[in-house]
A and B are shown apart, each in its own frame.
Chain A
Amino acid sequence: MLKLRIERAPAPLWFRAVIPVIAVLATFILVSALVIVAGASPFSAFFELLINPLTKTTARADILMMATPILLTGLAVTVAFAAGYYNIGAEGQLYAGGMAAAWVGTQLQTESPFLMIPLMLIAGFIAGMLWALLPAILKVRLQVDEVVTTLLLNSVMLFLVSALLNGPWRDPVSGWPQSPTILAAAQFPVLIPRSRVHFGAIVAVVVAIVVWWVMSRTRFGIEVRAVGKNRDAARFLGIPVGNRILMAALISGGIAGLAGVGEVGGIHYYMTGTLSPGFGYTGVIVATLGFLTVPGAIVSALFLALVNRGAISASRELDVPVYLGDVIQAALLLVGLATLLLGRYRIRRVR
């Protein structure tokens, strides 16, 4: 008799590779009725959403551009979550980074991008760290729940930015609530001609490689993971638990700050209150879909960018409400998260 046993162990690699396909199929079945009611064919809707963007050069470039900030926030969240520190504040930290980049980019009088851009990145990283510092200290010293503090500080940051841009920092030329335009030297080079893929994409890839190396190959990384997996045992093993949480939280904030630098330096060229349509929160999804691994974060950032881009063209091509794209996207994410659970188990055949 054939006996099967379900175990809590990572599923075989081939199966984990199939999981996204399962998720897409399940979502397809779930939303078909809705798409039909909206007057479109589910097949063409999914084609527009997932396949068509990959066939066009401009759309492919858009995907890279859209993946840049969410890969960075995804990496930020990955580092924090790996330490068991639930940083939901990447959004606020992103804005902090954006502010710092805009400040350096408008104030520093230099024509050399080789000086300007590194300084913007450093300033953005530090600003993100500083915005992440308070909740991290509260967590380590007083066990204040970081989910609450980091989340609420996002609103504080948004109002702070809004106050600055409507007050002292308002662009004197246009009068709009946005910062003055950054200097030419501060504007990130475009990587692909006639697209908006900017230098920030390279920053994101470099950060991804560094995070991967630190988390998997260094003492600091394994200690952070140990703390995240079992705080008591980590302390028992002599790991300075509080310090590792603090460091992970600050690095996380810094990486999120880099996402803001990229948006200011590579997309807008000024600071604005609508710098991010929730990239910080999308980062949580990127990190979670990516199993808190760096390769996973890269894949899920690209995937989310694809779906995002696809939703835009699907609604345009099929003449269905834009919201339908959002519904499909949201359903896909929910189903994706649910099916990822499958990857945690394996079924073993036993005699």
Chain B
Amino acid sequence: MSVLEMRGITKRFGALVANDQISFDIEAGEVHALLGENGAGKSTLMKILYGLYQPDEGEIFVNGQRVSLKSPADAIAHGIGFVSQHFALIPTFTVTENVLLGHEKQPILQHDAMRRQVVETAEKLRFNIDPDAIVGHLSVGQQQRVEILKALYRGCRVLILDEPTAVLTPQDTEKLFSILIELQRQGLSVVIITHKLNEVFTISQRVTVLRLGKVVGRALTANTSQTELSQMMVGRQTIPVTRNIDHHSQNEIKLNVQNLAMADRSGAPRLRGLSLNVRAGEVVGVAGVAGNGQSELVSILTGMGQPQSGSAQVSGKAMPFGKPAALSQLKVARIPEDRLKGVIGDLSVADNLMLEQVGQFTRAGHLNRKQIREYAERLIRDFQIKAKPDDPARTLSGGNIQKIILARSLAQNPEVVIAAQPTRGLDIGATEYVHKKLLEQKQRGAAVLLISEDLDEILALSDRVLVIFEGAIVGEFDASETDIDVLGALMTGAAAEKVKIHA
């Protein structure tokens, strides 16, 4: 029998139908994958289940009883737990305090008893956690486990995890999956929201696929295939990125970075003598767990940040630091980590497209509006941006905003492309488009540096993969010979020595 069932759930946000007559059920002791692209309605559905949203239509049953979930408190009372992508933890509190918070059973805290309970619960799930550790000092994977402990402490029987592996290293992902299997063995049910197909096959028994707010497929995982699921998810066959494995190792070095060192405001080192180079016609991917210096590297190479020491050259010319305008001159195309820091939402699409090269559209200080408009119309056409030149950029979707940034920088025929998290938050269609454009740059001989937290993306696009850990490059692979296990070990610092595998 289903421990939990949702029938005919419809949720609208204005004109947008996020969930359209969705039915979904969870059985005791199963891991159920909820699969779909960004914006398919997975998170909305689960937020309804956790009482964060109220459905416009439909009913929810817990153990056969119809329930009304007006708030997370109702959901928790019915045994539903939710681990969001953004943890609801207080970084300055200890693990125990975080688990307790909001569910103290007595006015005076029974700290020792609580600590014991935290440790015991963790042990039952076969992991160790220091109950007195300050949560802010824990790794992302450990923080996620604290969230799971919190849900269990509140008596959850159905645990929902929203894209739990998005922020995890391969090792942490494995650890998470073993915890989920343990939970399942103890009779709990797990819903895992994901858009990664391999996870569906690794962990789940059943899978429900959503597309555009509707259920487009339900299957026992054992009876389906990756191809079948991806077709359901996307509604068409995905074109696998075809990578040219032609080597350009003889080509000239276009981007050369030496010994970058940078500390944050508190003086803690974020980059420790980082060096790398990218050749013409090459994509070099920088893989790493978030927070190992990628942001600092990107900020320096996009002209925003100043390193304490180190140097960089573009096509043999020194790259000045902290001068974004100079980088445009050196023909460095820059795709920033946060695309909202790359466009000015209140200005028009046309203005955003021309502002980086505003000098080309100015005669004696006066803007040539006609030329700006023609240029915008051309880029909108060439880069298939779904917008009119006069639309405020803010009204565009994430994918189209990213296209503005791509169009603006790539239209200048760059020598070097710095692409930071270029597809973060984009749907599959937009992601494919961005990948295609980056590979086009490689084909025309630009040096492309790809910094991404999406390992699949790095592996799909790169000729060479570098691993960044604690502010330095700790490993280098030829893309065709990348060993995922070694890569994961390097990303987490598990491998002490710098590894270089020659092609």
Chain A residues proximal to chain B, CB less than 8 Å: 3-6, 8-9, 217-220, 222-223, 225-226, 229-230, 232-240, 348, 350
Contacts and interface: CB of A to CB of B under 8 A. Distances in A.
Nearest to A220: B365
Given A3-B15, A230-B345, A222 B358 contact: yes
Nearest to A225: B347
Contacts, number: 83
B344 A226 contact: yes
Contacts of A236: 302-304, 324, 334, 336, 341-342
B304 A235 contact: yes
B367 A222 contact: yes
B267 interface: no
B51 interface: no
7 contacts: A218-B362, A219-B358, A219-B365, A225-B346, A229-B344, A233-B341, A233-B344
B214 to A, nearest CB: 18
B346 A229 contact: yes
A349 to B, nearest CB: 9
Closest 10 CB pairs of A and B: A238-B325, A5-B14, A350-B15, A229-B346, A232-B341, A238-B324, A219-B362, A230-B344, A5-B15, A237-B355
Contacts of A226: 344, 347, 351, 355
Contacts of A238: 303, 323-328, 356
Given A3-B14, A5-B14, A233 B351 contact: no
Interface in B319-366: 323-328, 334, 336, 340-347, 351, 355-356, 358-359, 361-362, 365-366
Contacts of B366: 217-219
A216 to B, nearest CB: 9
Contacts of A220: 365
A6 B344 CA distance: 22
B365 A230 contact: no
B395 interface: yes
A235 B347 contact: no
B392 interface: yes
Nearest to B391: A9
Contacts of B358: 219, 222-223
B57 to A, nearest CB: 13
Nearest to A213: B366
A237 B15 contact: no
A4 B12 CA distance: 12
A225 B348 CA distance: 12
A222 B351 contact: yes
A6 B15 CA distance: 10
Contact of A219 (B324, B367, B395): B367
Given A9-B392, A222-B358, A223-B358, A234 B344 contact: yes
Interface string B257-296: 0000000000000000000000000000000000000000
A239 B395 CA distance: 23
Nearest to A230: B344
A230 to B, nearest CB: 4
B355 A239 contact: yes
Nearest to A9: B395
A235 B367 CA distance: 20
Interface residues of B, number: 35
A6 B367 contact: no
A4 B324 CA distance: 43
- In terms of DSSP, what is the predominant structure of the interface of chain B? mixed
Given A3-B14, A223-B358, A218 B365 contact: yes
Most chain A CB within a 10 A radius of its CB, from B304, B324, B336: B324
A22 to B, nearest CB: 24
B324 A235 contact: yes
Given A236-B324, A238-B324, A350-B14, A229 B334 contact: no
A243 to B, nearest CB: 12
A229 B340 CA distance: 12
A225 B336 CA distance: 21
Contact of A237 (B356, B369, B394): B356
A108 B358 CA distance: 44
A223 B355 CA distance: 8
A238 B341 CA distance: 12
B263 to A, nearest CB: 20
B409 to A, nearest CB: 10
A252 B329 CA distance: 32
A5 to B, nearest CB: 3
Most chain B CB within a 10 A radius of its CB, from A4, A233, A350: A233
Contacts of A348: 15
A230 B346 contact: yes
Interface string B358-396: 110110011101000000000000000000000010110
A4 B345 CA distance: 24
Given A236-B304, A237-B324, A237-B342, 9 more contacts: A9-B392, A218-B367, A219-B362, A222-B351, A222-B355, A230-B340, A234-B344, A236-B336, A236-B341
Contacts of A225: 346-347
B375 to A, nearest CB: 14
A217 B334 contact: no
A218 B392 CA distance: 19
Nearest to B339: A233
Most chain B CB within a 10 A radius of its CB, from A8, A225, A234, A238: A238
A54 B19 CA distance: 57
Nearest to A5: B14
B474 to A, nearest CB: 29
Contact of B340 (A4, A233, A237): A233
Contacts of A234: 344
A130 to B, nearest CB: 24
Most chain B CB within a 10 A radius of its CB, from A220, A237, A350: A237
Most chain A CB within a 10 A radius of its CB, from B15, B334, B351, B362: B15
A222 B352 CA distance: 10
Contacts of B395: 9
Contacts of A4: 14
Contacts of B351: 222, 226
A8 B341 CA distance: 20
Most chain B CB within a 10 A radius of its CB, from A4, A220, A226: A226
Contacts of B394: 8
A59 to B, nearest CB: 39
Contacts of B356: 237-238
A290 B445 CA distance: 50
Nearest to A351: B15
A342 B360 CA distance: 38
Interface string B297-308: 000001110000
A348 B16 CA distance: 12
B14 A233 contact: no
Contacts of A240: 325
A41 B181 CA distance: 78
Contacts of B328: 238
Nearest to A235: B324
B362 A233 contact: no
Contacts of B302: 236
A220 B362 CA distance: 10
B349 to A, nearest CB: 14
B402 to A, nearest CB: 14
A235 B343 CA distance: 11
B133 to A, nearest CB: 34
A234 B343 CA distance: 8
Most chain B CB within a 10 A radius of its CB, from A8, A218, A219: A219
A232 B369 CA distance: 25
B347 A229 contact: yes
A233 B338 CA distance: 10
